[in-house]
Amino acid sequence: MTDLLKFAMNRLGFIFISTIFMLSCSPDSSKLVRNGNAGGALGTSYSIIYLSDEEQDFQKEIDSVFAVINKSLSTYLPDSDISKINRGDTTIVVDKMFREVFELSKKVNRNTDGYFDPTVGVLVNAWGFGPSPSIKMDSTAVDSLLNFVGFEKVDLTKSNRIKKANSNIYLDFNAIAKGYAIDRLAAFLDEKEISDYLIEVGGELVGKGENRIKGKPWVVGIDDPQIEEGRRLKILMQLKDRALASSGNYRKFRVDSITGKKYVHTIDPKSGFTKNGSTLGTTVLANTCGEADAYATAFMAMDLQDALALLAAQQELDAYIVYLDEAGEAQEFMTEGFKDLVMNPNG
C-alpha cells in the first residue's frame, strides 16, 4: 500500500479501539436513518456512521478528503508535497491542510517541550520504522542524525513555503495526520448539518451527539494491552463530542536479526534512541483528533512523570495510561475526566 500512514499501523498494537453499538429502542428511531461508509485508506481501515432523516451516501466526498490529505502529507507517495519538500524542493506552496497540520504540530511541540517532533522522521527511517531502508545505528550514527532533528529548525513562511535550517531535515507528520484526517471528515459532516456521527480510522475516533436510533450514547471498547495474541476487552467508555487516539509499544517492535535485541517504534527526539520506558501505552481524549493523536505519541516518548505533570497542568486533555511500576507490574492511570466516561460492562 502507498497510502499515508502505513507507519501508523504500528501504533495500533497497544490499544485497538472497537466500536460497540448498544441495543435499545428510542421514540425517534423511526424518523432516523443509519448511514455508513467503510473501506481502506491511509494504510488502514475506516468506518463512518452518521444519522439523518434520509438515506445519504458521502462516499465520493470521503474519498476526496483522503485523496487530498495523501497528496499533501503522505511520505509514502513520491509525488506528494511533503515528499517533494523532503527531497529539497523549496518551490512547493503548501495547501491549507498542510498549514493546519504544521501549526498544530508547532503548538503540541511547544506544549510537550519538544517531545512531539515531526522532524524525528529521519530517525524513524534509520531505526527501520519508516518508508526508507534502515541503517546500522550506534551512538555515532545517532549523534550525526540529531543534527537534522528539531522542529524549531523548520518554519512555514507567509507565502506558504517550508523553510528548513538544513536541507537534510525530513518532515514526517504521520503521528498527527491520521487524527487530522478524522477532524476533516468531522468538519465535512458538520457542514452537512449531521448532528450525530461516529468516525473511526485505524482505531482513532471522533464521536458527536449520540446513537439516537438506539437511544444510547456512542460507546467504544478499549482492548487489554497486555494480551499479545487475540483480543480481550479492557474497558467500555462513552464518546460524545470528543476525539480519541492511542499509541503504544506493547505488541509492535522490531527485533534485530543478528543481536536479538528488541527496538520499540517510539523514538525519543531528545536522545535519538528508541524509547524503552515504563509506559506501555496511552489513550488520549481531546477536542480534536489531531491533538489526541499528537499527544498520545508525545506521552510515549516522554517519561511517565512528565506526562502526568502535563496532564495535571491543563484542562483540555484526558488520558488513560498503562505503565510498569518498579516491580515490573502493569498499573493504570486515568484522569478524572476519563474516569467519568468509563462504563460498567455489566451494568
Q: Output the 3-class SS for the chain.
A: CCCCCCHHHHHHCCCCEEEECCCCCCCCHHHCEEEEEEEEECCEEEEEEEEECCCCCCHHHHHHHHHHHHHHHCCCCCCCHHHHHHCCCCCCCCCHHHHHHHHHHHHHHHHCCCCCCHHHHHHHHHCCCCCCCCCCCCHHHHHHHHHHCCHHHEEECCCCCEEECCCCCCCCCHHHHHHHHHHHHHHHHHHCCCCEEEEEECCEEEEECCECCCCECCEEEEECCCCCCCCCEEEEEECCCEEEEEEECCCCEEECCCCCCEEECCECCCCCCECCCCEEEEEEEECCHHHHHHHHHHHHHCCHHHHHHHHHCCCCCEEEEEEECCCCCEEEEECHHHHCCEECCCC
Q: 259: which strand partners?
A: none
> 174 pLDDT exceeds 80?
yes
The lowest-confidence range among 66-80, 81-95, 257-271 is 257-271
For residue 15, pLDDT beyond 50: no
pLDDT of residue 3 exceeding 80: no
For residue 276, count other CB atoms closer than 10 A to its CB: 12
pLDDT of 290 strictly over 80: yes
Task: Read off the pLDDT of each residue in 314-321 and give the average, rounded to a whole number.
Answer: 94
pLDDT, average across residues 218-245: 80
Whole-angstrom Cα distance, residue 175 to residue 147? Answer: 21
pLDDT of amino acid 29: 57
**d(Cα 205, Cα 59) in Å, to the nearest integer?**
18
Confidence of residue 153 (pLDDT cuts 50, 70, 90): very high
Cell of 188: 465535512
- For residue 87, is pLDDT > 90? yes
91: region left, alpha or beta (phi > 0 left; psi from -120 to 50 alpha): alpha
Domains and CATH numbers, the chain: 7-343 (3.10.520.10)
Q: Are strands 262-264 and 253-255 parallel, antiparallel or unpaired?
A: antiparallel
Checking if the pLDDT of 24 tops 70, the result is no
Q: How confident is the model at residue 346 (pLDDT cuts 50, 70, 90)?
A: low
Which of 328, 322, 314, 297 minimizes the C-alpha distance to 7? 297
Query: What does the pLDDT read at residue 234?
Result: 76
Average pLDDT value for residue range 153-169: 96
Q: What pLDDT band is residue 61 in, cutting at 50, 70 and 90?
A: very high
CA–CA gap between residue 292 and residue 298 (Å, rounded): 10
Mean pLDDT, rounded, of the chain = 86
The region of weakest confidence among 65-74, 107-116, 195-204, 273-282 is: 273-282
Do the beta carbons of residue 69 and residue 184 sit within 8 Å? Answer: yes
